[in-house]
Structure formats: structure tokens, C-alpha cells
Structure 1
Amino acid sequence: MATNEQGRSATRLAERLIELEGPKEVLLASGEWMAYRLERDGFQWLKGRNSLERRVDGRFERMRLEGSRWNKRGKLIEFSIVSLEVFDEGLKAWRQSNPGLTVERPESVEGIVCAASFLEISREAKVIVTLPSDRLAVVDGLCEHVREVALPWFSSSEDPENLAEVVSDALLRPTGFGQDLLEFLVSRGFHGEARSLIRRAISLGDSCSDAIREGRDLAISGGRPNWHSPQALGWSGEVLGLL
């Protein structure tokens, strides 16, 4: 019975995706179909945010979709996965309990672990679904691409024991998310891995090592950097006793 109901639901979603004509409606139907195809991976469609979202044990992952500004009914319907974001409730609580050990962030990102533009890490972030007959195949292809690129990106920051080795270099460069990842490790009690993260960032080149040194000097002098500033990672390394 449940299988039959799931089949009918899938049929309705597929019919909507094929039959709709307006760009906004097709985007929403595409998101719903992606959620169906990615259901086994734990994702749900939040149409109010145009995003596919997954929540597990206080961890929140989000992929946000966006339609092209050039979309026009009957002419072009294109959309992209534009961003990937990871949040953690435990990290948010740690920051709220230790304001002197972190920096000010907008309230909406108090629990941020890391984020990336999917357009920068994927060559297949955009899809064209203008032709109704192509939509199911095109969106299914995007779902497979999500499994190949986006899901490994999410997984790279999931395990504190391996995070320092497997997260992308881009997250550790100046103005990246090194500070946020460092605080995530410390909030979980992984101080050794946090030190490994700093050493890896230093190994990325002079711009990274110089920024870390400047951040350490800033902390020693009693200063405080802005979130996402080049000095943020070195500052946190010093105030958290990791350097």
C-alpha cells in the first residue's frame, strides 16, 4: 500500500514538472522532484527558501536553487544550484556561551560551519529545462551530479576526526571558513585536529601563513578581527591556545 502511494505521488510530481509552463512554477516543481529523488539521502524541499535541506543530529545542510534572470515563459527556463551551506546547533551554542573566543556574526549564521558557491566548485551547476520533454532527464542528471559533487563536499566537514585532512583548500584560504571550521572542532573537543587544520592552512602558501601570523599578532595586542577577514583564523588560533 505504501509503495503504491509513493508511486502515485512520484507520478503526480513528474506530471507537474512536465506540464507547468511558468519559470517560477517549473523551478518549484524541479525542487520537489529533486527532493523526491534525493529522499534516500535525507533531503527535503523548502519552497519558501528555494532550497533542498537535510537535518541530522543538530547538523543542518542546505543547497539553494535560483532561477536565471533571463528566464521567460516559452523562451528559456534555467536554474542553478547556487550555494552549499552547513550549520551546527552545538557550534551555535558554543559561540553563544563563549563570546570572548569568537567574533561577531549576523544572527542568521551563528551556527555556520562552512559554505561555498556551487557555481565555483562545479561545471554543471546550471541546467536548462525549457523543453517539457527533457525536464525529468535533465533534473535527474542534476541529482546524480549532486551525489557526485555536493554530497562529498558536505561529508568533508561532517567527521571532526578527518575534517582537517579532507576539507577543500578553498575553505582554508584567507577570507574563507577556516575560523568557523576551527571553532567547530574546538566545540567538539578535537583540539589536536584543530591544530592540524591550522598547520594545513599555513602550508597553503605565503598569503595564508602571513594572514595567520597577522591574526595572531592582532590577538596578542588585544584586537579583534571581523568575521571572514584574513586575520580571523590566526586570531582564533591564538585566543583558543592552539598556536
Structure 2
Amino acid sequence: MIEEPAVLPTPREVVLAAGDWIASQLQQDGFVWLPSRLTLQRSVGSVRHQIHVQPDTYNRRGGPIAVQAMLNVRDTALRRWRKANPQLVFDPDNDYVCGHFLGYATGRANGYLYGDFRDGEIDLSSPGERERHLDAFVATVRQSVLPWFAEASDPDLIVESRAADMTSSPACIVDWLASRGRIDLVPVYVARYVERHPEWDEGVRRGVALAADGQRPEYSTNWADVLGWTSAKVTESHPAGPATGR
């Protein structure tokens, strides 16, 4: 039974207790609750799987209380690789691989093949309904999110995964493939991403041209340019060996 969230008076206390309860249900799957970060996390070798719980801006004591969940994959070995190859990356001190809102990984609802943004929301407003809503969230994690993490942590699977399609910074996945010694998958992934996001095509081509001229995109937030530049740099450089995950 979940008792604490039904009686805690402030939205933050409700969210903290809910996160703690979710972690107790997902403990067998390796997750722990990090209350200071509002994050559920597990480690698989050098890879970390994270479910970030983001409180709604409009949460009020005695009023609506909701959270939105975000998925992230991070890899400490990727940070080491980036630091060892600064000429190929924009942010060497970064372990980020990919991520997006949990709702897009749920595989159901509202006409979307892989789910809708709202599917990642947990409504904690009504004390009498909280346990039911949290039970449903845990079921979603087991049915949809754990397979999402499995795909997003495997170089052969991530290339055609929902995680790779939905991430806003696909150059980070290119970095990760290179760090794992799978440069052969980089052209496959970039072609797939551009096919699904045709508005990126011009920027990707521009990034490739900049790399050929020995230049860099002006801003790291020009994500299409960065994808083209990064993919060109890693495929021409063939940095030695994958980073170790141990």
C-alpha cells in the first residue's frame, strides 16, 4: 500500500514520496531513487539508465499535482572517449547519449505508433487515486521503458530505435557509436535520421562541408549542422578502439 503520498501536504513531499514508492516497485529491476535529483536510476556497466521526474509548474498544495517523466541514457565511458578525442566533439565533458519524454516511448495512445507526450504524465492530485496512477506508471515502465533502455544501450539496436529517432541531439548517438568502435553504423544512422527528419538534410550537408573545409559549425545548438560535422569527423578519423565500459 502507498500511504505517504496520500497524506503529505506539499507538492514536493508528494512527489518525493511517489518517487520513493516507484523505486520500491522497480528495485528488482535495479532502480534506486535519487531524491535530490528527482531521478530513478540504475547502472549497467558504464551505462546509466535514468527516469527523471519533473514536477509540473502549476503544482499547488491542495490543488493539481502532476509530474512528467523524461528518459535519459548516459555513459561514463563516452565521457572518457570524448575527452580523449576533443577534435571530434563539441562537449568533451559530457556523458549524454540520448533521451526524450517518457510518453513517446510508451507504444500506445492517441494515434501515435509509439505513444504520446501525455502518456508520461502521472497525476498525483487526488490522494485516493495516487496508488492506482503509480501502479499504472510502473506497469508502463516494465512494458515499454525497459525495452526502450535495452535498445538505447545496444549499438546494433539503437540505430533503428525510437530513442534514436526522437532524440533532439543525434550527434551524441554518433559520438557513442564511435566510442563503442561502431563507426560502421554511423552512416546508417545518419541516413535513417535524415529520412525521418527531412528538414535536417540541408544542415547535415552543410555540416559535412564544414568538416571537409576544416571548419566547425558556428553554434553547437545548430543540431543538424553538428550531426553532419560530427558524422564526417568520426568517419574520416577512425579513432582507435572503443572506450572500455569497465
Regarding TM over 0.5, the answer is yes
Are 2:119 and 1:124 aligned?
yes
The structure 2 residue matched to 1:92, chosen from 74, 79, 88, is 79
Superposition pairs of residues 29-108 of structure 1, within 5 angstroms: 29-81=17-69, 83-104=70-91, 107=93
TM-score with structure 2 setting the length: 0.82
> 1:217: Cα distance to partner?
0.5
Structure 2 match to 1:22: 10
Given that 1:64 and 1:84 are in contact with CA atoms closer than 8 Å, whether structure 2 keeps it comes out as yes
Given that 1:191 and 1:242 are in contact with CA atoms closer than 8 Å, whether structure 2 keeps it comes out as no
Distance 2:213 2:199 in 1: 21
Instruction: Using the aligned pairs only, state the percent identity.
Output: 29
Are 2:209 and 1:213 aligned?
no
TM-score with structure 1 setting the length: 0.83
Distance 1:51 1:65 in 2: 6
Distance 2:236 2:146 in 1: 30
Given that 1:103 and 1:224 are in contact with CA atoms closer than 8 Å, whether structure 2 keeps it comes out as no
> 1:152: Cα distance to partner?
3.0
> 1:183: Cα distance to partner?
1.2
Change (3 A) 1:164 1:242: farther
Instruction: Give the count of matched residue pairs.
Output: 223
Unaligned stretches of 5+ residues in structure 1:
1-10
In angstroms, what is the RMSD of aligned CA positions? 2.2
Change (3 A) 1:20 1:59: same
Change (3 A) 1:78 1:240: closer
Superposition pairs of residues 79-228 of structure 1, within 5 angstroms: 79-81=67-69, 83-104=70-91, 107=93, 110-118=94-102, 121-167=116-162, 168-171=164-167, 176-204=168-196, 206-225=198-217, 226-228=219-221
Q: Deviations over 1:105-131 (max 9, x none)?
A: 6x4xx1110121336653222222233
- Higher radius of gyration, 1 or 2: 1
Change (3 A) 1:75 1:165: closer
Distance 1:138 1:66 in 2: 16
Distance 2:169 2:151 in 1: 13
| Bigger shift: residues 30-39 or 68-77 | 68-77
SS in 2 for 1:132: coil
Distance 1:101 1:194 in 2: 14
1:24 maps to a residue whose letter is R
> 1:205: Cα distance to partner?
5.3
SS in 1 for 2:118: coil
2:68 maps to a residue whose letter is S
> 1:20: Cα distance to partner?
1.9
